[in-house]
Structure 1
Amino acid sequence: MGAQILPEGRLSYGMQLPVQSQSTIYAEPWEAGAGAEDLAEIARTADRTGFAYIACCDHVAIPRRLADAMSTVWYDPVATLSFLAGITERVRLLSHVAVVGLRHPLVTAKQYATLDHLSGGRLILGVGAGHVQEEFDVLGADFARRGPVLDEIIDALRAALGEDEFPEFSGERYSFSGLGQRPRPAQPRIPVWVGGSSPAAVRRAALKGDGWLPQGDPRDRLAGQIDRLRRLREEAGIGEPVEIGAIAEPIYVGEPDWNTGRRSLTGKPEAIAESLRAYAAMGVRQIQVRFRSRSRSELTDQMAAFAADVAPHLN
C-alpha cells in the first residue's frame, strides 16, 4: 500500500524554507540576520496560501573546510518543523533531507513519529545518504557504506513507523524487537521521499520510496531520470504511483527592478506558469519553488503573488 498524498492529476508546489539553512549557493543576504519570527511568518504564509509543504535540511556539524561555502547555519529539522507545526494547520512538514544514516533508526523513528503525532499527521519523511564525511566520522557512522546503510535504514524505519507499538526488524546492521514506542504516528503510513540524483539514489527512490526528491537536475536531464525511475519500478512490479519532484529555477513574480540572476523565471504570472507546466509534462507531481527576495516581506509578498496569480495556471 503506497503513501500517495498529493492531489491526483495536479502539479503541487512546496518550498525549502529560507533562514534554516544558509549555504552560499542559495541564501539571500537578508537571511543572515533573520530568525524564529521570520521563519514563523514564512511558514504561516505558506500555510495560508496553499503550499503543499515547507521543508527543512539536516546537518549536525559542518567542517571548517566546507564552512565558507556551506556556512554553519543548519537548523535541526525536527526541532524546527515541530516549532512550525504548532503555528500552522494544513501545510505538510518535509525533511529535505534527513541524513538518517547518522542516527540509529529507533532514534529517528521516535523523533519523527512524535512530530507526526503532534502535527496531526502532516509529516513527509525525506531521506538521503549525506555527503559530509566528517559528520559521519565524529558520530561513529559509516560514510563509506552510507548507501547500503541507508537502504537498510529505510526498511527499518518502515517497520518502526508502522502501526505496531512493538515493531520488529532484523537486518545486517540493525535489529530490534520487544521495544515499544509511543506516541505512534498519526498517519497509518508515513510517506518516505528519497533524495538524490546519482544512479544509486534514483534506484533507491524507485524501489524504496513513495516519492523522489531530485537534487537540482536541469530540465534537459530530468526527463531521462524520470524515465529510468519509472522503468525500475515497472521492472520491480511496483504499481503504486510515485510522487516525483523537481527543484524549479529561482522565481520572481513580476518585472524586477534589480538583478535576480540569469536563470531566474521572471515576468507575468501566466508566462511563469507556462514554463513550470513543462515539469508536469515530464511527469513531475510537485515542484519545489524558491523566490528571489531582498527581505522577509518581499519573500512573503512573492509567495502570496505566486499562490494567487501563478498557481491557478499550473493545472
Structure 2
Amino acid sequence: MEGAEVSLAYGIQLPVQSQSTLYAERWEDAAGPADLVAVARAADRAGFDYLAVCDHVAVPRRLAPAMSTVWYDPVATLAHLAAVTERVRLLSHVAVVGLRHPLITAKQYATVDHLSGGRLVLGVGAGHVREEFDALGADFERRGAVLDETIDALRAALGPEEFPEHHGKVYDFSGLGQRPRPAQRRVPLWVGGSSPPAVRRAALKGDGWLPQGDPRDRLPAQIARIRRLRADRGVAGPFTVGAITEPLYVGRAGWEVGRRTLTGAPEEIAASLRAYAAMGVDRIQVRFRSRDRSELIDQIGAFAAEVAPRLD
C-alpha cells in the first residue's frame, strides 16, 4: 500500500506482559521482568521492527480463566523497554484509549516518545470488556464514537503544538500546555480491530491497521476495503497494513507445537510468509512457540538470520 516497505518488516508481541490462554506459553506464568527484558533485547538485536505490549486495566472474574489477570501497564512497560533497547520501535497493541482522558494519554505516550528518542507507535482500539469500562466510568455502549473523537483529540495533543486545542462532543480543551513534546513530529497512530467500524476507522483516521487475528483468507477483502475507503475520501499519505501470522517455529521442534503452527525449514516458512506481502501487508507480527525463555530467544535469532533475509 501507500508507503509500503521494499521488504516485509516484522514485529513481535512480547511474552510475559500479557498472558491470555489464547497465546501464552506455560513458562510465562513463572516469568518476570528479567525474562521480558531479555526477549526485548534479543528482538532489538535481531532487527525486529517493533515490540508490542497490550492494555487491560482490570479483568473481571468471569473472564479471568481465559484472559488471566496478567496484563502489564503498557505505558510503564514501554518506558522500561525504551531504556533497555536501542533501535526497535515501541508499539501499544492496543491501548484502549477510551478508558482515559486524551490529555492523560497524550502526556503518558508523549513522554515515552520523548524518552525513547522517537520510537513510539501508538496503537489504539475500542476495547471489549464492559466491566472495565463501568468500573472506570467510561461509556461502553458509545465506545466506538468516543474512540473516533479520542483519535482526533490525540492528533492534536500529540502534535507539535505546546498548547493543543480540541473541541468535540466528549472532550474540549485549549490553553493547556504539555511538555515534553513527542520527539516525532507526527506519532504514527495505528488502529486495531477487524470489525467493519474498526476497519473504517483505520482507513480514514489511522496511519495503519492492526487486524485482530484475521485468518489469511479474510485479509485481501479487508485490505481492498481500506484502499477503497481511502480513495473514496481522498485520504493520502503513508499507511501501514499489519497482519498477525500463524504461530511459528523455525526448524523441526521435536515436540508438539500445534497443528496451526507454521514450522519447517527457513525457506518453507519464508515462502509462506511472503504471501502476506503479496496481499499488500507491510508488517507481520510473529509469535514463536517455545518451552522457555532460552528457546524463544533462539527462535528469534533463527528467524532473523535464516527466515527474514528470504522475505524480500
TM-score normalised by length of structure 1: 0.98
In structure 2, the partner of 1:48 is 45
In structure 2, the partner of 1:107 is 104
Going from structure 1 to structure 2, the CA distance change for 1:5 and 1:12 (only over 3 Å counts) comes to: farther
Going from structure 1 to structure 2, the CA distance change for 1:78 and 1:54 (only over 3 Å counts) comes to: same
Deviation per CA, 1:149-180, whole angstroms, max 9, x where unpaired? 00000000000000000000000110100000
1:71 to 64, 68, 73: 68
8 Å CA contact 1:213, 1:246 repeated in 2? yes
Deviation per CA, 1:216-270, whole angstroms, max 9, x where unpaired? 1001111111001110000010122310000000000001100100011101001
| Residue 76 of structure 1: how far off its partner (Å) | 0.2
What is the rounded CA distance, in whole Å, between the counterparts of 2:152 and 2:272 in structure 1? 37
In structure 1, the partner of 2:275 is 278
In structure 2, the partner of 1:293 is 290
Q: Which amino acid aligns with 1:125?
A: L
1:203 maps to 2:200: yes
Going from structure 1 to structure 2, the CA distance change for 1:85 and 1:190 (only over 3 Å counts) comes to: same
What is the rounded CA distance, in whole Å, between the counterparts of 1:264 and 1:33 in structure 2? 24
In structure 1, the partner of 2:300 is 303
In structure 1, the partner of 2:174 is 177
8 Å CA contact 2:3, 2:238 repeated in 1? no
What is the rounded CA distance, in whole Å, between the counterparts of 1:185 and 1:137 in structure 2? 31
8 Å CA contact 1:162, 1:189 repeated in 2? yes
1:314 maps to 2:278: no
In structure 1, the partner of 2:186 is 189
1:139 maps to 2:162: no
Question: Superposition RMSD on alpha carbons, in Å?
Answer: 1.2
SS at match of 2:284: strand
What is the rounded CA distance, in whole Å, between the counterparts of 1:208 and 1:197 in structure 2? 15
Gaps of 5+ in 2: none
Q: Which amino acid aligns with 1:153?
A: T
1:122 maps to 2:133: no
| Residue 8 of structure 1: how far off its partner (Å) | 2.5
What is the rounded CA distance, in whole Å, between the counterparts of 2:219 and 2:280 in structure 1? 10
In structure 1, the partner of 2:8 is 11
Deviation per CA, 1:64-85, whole angstroms, max 9, x where unpaired? 0000000000000000010010
In structure 2, the partner of 1:265 is 262
1:217 maps to 2:211: no
What is the rounded CA distance, in whole Å, between the counterparts of 2:77 and 2:170 in structure 1? 29
Gaps of 5+ in 1: none
8 Å CA contact 2:3, 2:239 repeated in 1? no
| Residue 5 of structure 1: how far off its partner (Å) | 11
SS at match of 2:231: helix
SS at match of 2:241: strand
8 Å CA contact 2:97, 2:105 repeated in 1? yes
8 Å CA contact 1:245, 1:285 repeated in 2? yes
What is the rounded CA distance, in whole Å, between the counterparts of 1:234 and 1:216 in structure 2? 25
8 Å CA contact 2:153, 2:166 repeated in 1? yes
Moved over 4 A (4+): 4-7
Count matched residues.
Answer: 312
In structure 1, the partner of 2:35 is 38
SS at match of 1:96: strand
What is the rounded CA distance, in whole Å, between the counterparts of 1:306 and 1:5 in structure 2? 27
What is the rounded CA distance, in whole Å, between the counterparts of 1:301 and 1:35 in structure 2? 19
